[in-house]
Amino acid sequence: MEILANYGTVIIMVAAFFGFLMAVGIGANDVANAMGTSVGSKALTVKQAIIIAMIFEFAGAYLAGGEVTDTIRKGVIETSHYAAQPEILVYGMMSALLAAGTWLLVASYMGWPVSTTHSIIGAIIGFACVSVGTEAVDWSSVQGIVGSWIITPFISGLFAYLIFISAQRLIFDTDNPLANAKRFVPVYMFITAMVIALVTIKKGLKHVGLHLSSGEAWAASVAISAIVMLFGYFYIGRKYTDDGTSVDSNGYAGVERVFSLLMVVTACAMAFAHGSNDVANAIGPLSAVASTVEHMGEIAAKSEIAWWILPLGGVGIVVGLATLGHKVMATVGTGITELTPSRGFAAQLATASTVVLASGTGLPISTTQTLVGAVLGVGFARGIAALNLGVVRNIVASWVVTLPAGALLAVIFFYVMQAVFG
């Protein structure tokens, strides 16, 4: 307790730096996942993707990142074990931030798409085990995380496979692909808008004080989606003609351009939802440290977020994306399988659908694993030869390593932290 009184300001400043580092890691790795399919399918250039992500990720993080957050429990550790020694929890959360941030930066440098959520959870488990013991960890929630490594990619892969096959049957494998695109793409736009609206309402807007019931959320989503679909019918009918001026002889180029438009909209909305949701991985432990220090060791289950923490997280995400994001974008967008706008759209819609399904059922998921599973599903729809199995093997290995890597680094940093402050 004496340490918190004497070094409180220094501890908060150091924790803020570690939180910023973690946010940079999230930007370099997770945000690149959200934009990878758009870049890989050439719907967006790397520069355009970075600009879009900067705007919408920051908006999501700052506007909808949360006024009050359940910062400490996260279903992983029981904080009552630290009531007598709150400084141990502070050191632990700081070491967890530094460990997760370090692992994310290493993975991003190598071009591995890993889970930011699993990185921070692994780190928290690591410090909890060495500071209190294994009884501090809720192992049932850890089992759920390990199970999600298989379940999540499978569900999103299946969705992506079905969406892509439907587009092939209804549009591409027909006598007049462009005419069928005009007929069916607005329907895809309706489904996409529906899913994205639900993701944004459920994951983002509840933090801004907009608390809608499930019925109200569905009604709002249907209304928004109907408007988007009507706009789609009007815009595509006017923009793409059959006189040969905007398409090749088969109509495929025009069809892919229609899907490019869809992908840009999907990418913007996913970036906003991601910013509102995953910034918590960086600001959650940081808020826990700041709150515990400010309240002189009193550990709260929920803590108010200080005014400077959300912008710090938002800026960190943007810096990470701009500096290291291109490597993970390349892995997701071009490394696993060759993507076109229609294939990339199938992967993005499948990812968003899985996120909605998971948030409704409480399934612990990683957006990274969801998207990679969806890209695999699209590739598999074209045959196993369309997949780069070497890249897939490296990605799966990096997923398995993430939890223990985060835990090991956190243990090392925890002992360093104790030596420095203790």
Q: Is the distance from CB of 73 to CB of 128 less than 8 angstroms?
A: no
Short-list 393, 300, 336, 349, CA closest to 40: 336
Looking at residue 247, what is its pLDDT? Answer: 45
Asked whether the predicted pLDDT for residue 218 surpasses 70, the reply is yes
User: Residue by residue, what is the 3-state secondary structure of 130-146?
Assistant: HHCCHHHECHHHHHHHH
Asked whether the predicted pLDDT for residue 145 surpasses 90, the reply is no
From the centroid of its chain, how far is CA 178? Answer: 33
From the centroid of its chain, how far is CA 335? Answer: 19
Mean pLDDT of 400-411: 94
pLDDT confidence bin for 244, thresholds 50/70/90: very low
Q: Is the distance from CB of 242 to CB of 178 less than 8 angstroms?
A: yes
Query: Rounded CA gap, 20 and 30, in Å?
Result: 15
From the centroid of its chain, how far is CA 407? Answer: 21
Express as a percent the part of the chain with pLDDT over 90.
Answer: 28
Range from 56-70, 130-144, 148-162, 237-251 that averages highest in pLDDT: 148-162
Cα–Cα–Cα angle for 308, 312, 315, nearest 5°? 140
pLDDT confidence bin for 67, thresholds 50/70/90: very low
Of the two residues 360 and 317, the one the predictor is more confident about is: 317
Mean pLDDT of 143-170: 88
pTM over 0.75: yes
Mind listing the pLDDT tens digit for each residue in 268-314? 877 877 777 677 777 778 877 887 787 766 666 555 667 788 788 88
Burial (CB count <10 Å: 0-12, 13-18, 19+), residue 81: middle
Looking at residue 73, what is its pLDDT? Answer: 45
Q: Is the distance from CB of 22 to CB of 315 less than 8 angstroms?
A: no
Looking at residue 31, what is its pLDDT? Answer: 76
Q: Is the distance from CB of 325 to CB of 319 less than 8 angstroms?
A: no
Cα dihedral across residues 108, 111, 113, 115: positive or negative: negative
Query: Rounded CA gap, 273 and 63, in Å?
Result: 11
